[in-house]
Amino acid sequence: MEKKVYSVDGKELRTINLDDNVFGLPVNEDVIYYAINNELANLRVGTACTKTRAEVHGSNAKPYKQKGTGRARRGDKKSPVAVGGGIIFGPRPRDYSYSLPKKVKRLAMKSILSLKAQDERLTVVEDFSVASGKTKDLVKILSNFSKGERTVIILKDDDAAIKQAGRNIPTLSFLSFNRLRAHDLFYGRKVLILESAAKNLAGFYGTEEGAE
């Protein structure tokens, strides 16, 4: 697949051949769904907790005698049927995280990249950084490719300067080519890939030997 490479000013520079094994696959919606659900589940804290009748503070005494009052039989005030009593089958702290097979995660990332390429939402940009670390400098570059849309920039490495410049932009997120996140990538309306990152993606996801 051929894609144009743009300068930071939004001008066409050259073309680049993107690996069809990464950017030209049929979109598998099932694995995309699995990958996004997995990421969201792994983010859940799972600290919701309710008290059972054994944990509720209160007296263990029977509120009134068993017979002769004309009322229903009652145990202590901590009974789940009483106001302020314990909770039956309420949530307890738990771990929601689980693992997906590596091949499923890899196929999900390639499917999302292929989807973005097919929808013309993927743009390859020459390698750049923001040496000043200033937000206004990065905003000026982004204005040539995105109009305030939810944008994802795929980097070739962990560039601290560009991340510093973009941390005050709420619609912008950064991903490293070897640490993609399905949720951010799928919901990004614009995906900007640095030229070196595009080549690295081909090597990382283009073969089954690539590590997660």
Judge contact between 148 and 189, C-beta under 8 A.
no
pLDDT tens per residue, range 116-158: 999 999 999 999 989 888 999 999 999 999 888 899 999 988 8
Class of residue 181 by CB neighbours under 10 A (exposed 0-12, middle 13-18, buried 19+): middle
Class of residue 109 by CB neighbours under 10 A (exposed 0-12, middle 13-18, buried 19+): buried
In this prediction, residues 43-48 reach a mean pLDDT of 94
**CA dist 19 → 2, 103, 170, 207 (Å):** 9, 18, 31, 10
pLDDT band of residue 110 (cuts 50, 70, 90) is very high
Closest residue by Cα to residue 112 from 43, 35, 41: 35
Topology of the domain comprising 2-29+101-205 = Ribosomal Protein L4; Chain: A; (3.40.1370)
Task: With a cut of 80, say whether residue 102 has pLDDT above it.
Answer: yes
DSSP character at residue 180 = -
Tokens of 204: 């990382």
Tokens of 57: 């503070």
Distance CA 89, CA 85 (A): 13
Q: Mean pLDDT across the chain, nearest whole number?
A: 91
pLDDT of residue 210: 44
In this prediction, residues 184-201 reach a mean pLDDT of 93
Closest residue by Cα to residue 53 from 77, 29, 37, 21: 77
Task: With a cut of 50, say whether residue 82 has pLDDT above it.
Answer: yes
Distance CA 3, CA 75 (A): 74
Domain ranges of the chain: 2-29+101-205, 45-95
